Amino acid sequence: MNVKSAFTYAFRKENWQNVLLIPSLFLIGMTAINLAYRFIVVFPTVFQTVLEHPHMSPYARARLNYQTQTSPQMLLMDLFLLILMLPVQGYFWELVHTWQTHGMEAPAPRWKGRLTEYAVYGIQLILCGFVNIIPLILTGLTLGLVAPWTMAPYFLAAKEKTVMSFIKQYPRAVSVGLSRYLPVLGTFYLLVLIGVIAIIPGILLVLTIVGFFVFVYVLKIASLHLMTQAYAIHTSDDEASSI
């Protein structure tokens, strides 16, 4: 497994704009819209209510905050932010397919002319998450021991990137998860360890804002790169096969 390649992939001259710059701009835009809405609409409402009721109990304040966060307007804003990030989610699914088809060193796919396509992939990926909710819960309950099976459909369906192809991959995921069990499980725990170690630099990079967003995507790309290596699924334009 090439760990160095996983963490340097995003910084290569031919890749950084597509895998770091553009996704970070999406995330920055989402964060800016979210913060602006909260400062302009949410926080003043809560603050005004607290001023009008200075003797409000902590429980009442917590309840007011909960009601504000779950208001129809706030839920609509959350939905809007989710839609905004759909192309990024779909792009990374396409990135996995690029690696599976052209090798782990292949240049990252471009964004030009494919925004709508990536958004559609993102919608499909979200729907796959709903379909796979019970297996994902089992992954947490078993401390990752079933991860090689529960995550396999995402990588097996990276070629078609549809909910139907995702569902059809469940039977194959059993054999792939079994044949690649130790490499995938080891990679899963490695990524958990990396995530824990990354907490401290992540907190420090929050102060730079942009640095934090770049840091987030470097970790995401490295995680996908390592897991794609672990599953060793190879596809072509005509067929998909696992080794």
Asked if residue 132 lies in contact with residue 43, where contact means CB atoms within 8 angstroms, the answer is no
Task: Give mean pLDDT, residues 213-231.
Answer: 92
Residue 61 lies in a domain: no
Is residue 159 one of the residues assigned to a domain? yes
CA dist., res. 176 & res. 235, Å (int)? 14
Which tokens is 31 given?
């964060």
The residues, any chain, with a CB within 8 Å of residue 18's CB and separated by 6 or more, are 91, 108, 109, 110, 111
Q: Range of 12's domain?
A: 3-30+82-237
pTM for this one? 0.85
Structurally, the chain folds into a number of domains equal to 1
Residues 6+ positions from 229 with CB-CB distance below 8 Å: 1, 2, 6, 104, 187
- Alpha carbon of residue 190 to chain centroid: 17
> Percent of the chain, pLDDT > 90?
62
Interval 41-59 mean pLDDT: 69
| pLDDT value of residue 126 | 95
Residue type, 164: M
pLDDT value at residue 151: 96
DSSP letter (8 states) at residue 71 = S
Domain presence at residue 57: no
Is residue 20 one of the residues assigned to a domain?
A: yes
Residue 115, judged by CB atoms within 10 A of its CB (0-12, 13-18, 19+), counts as middle
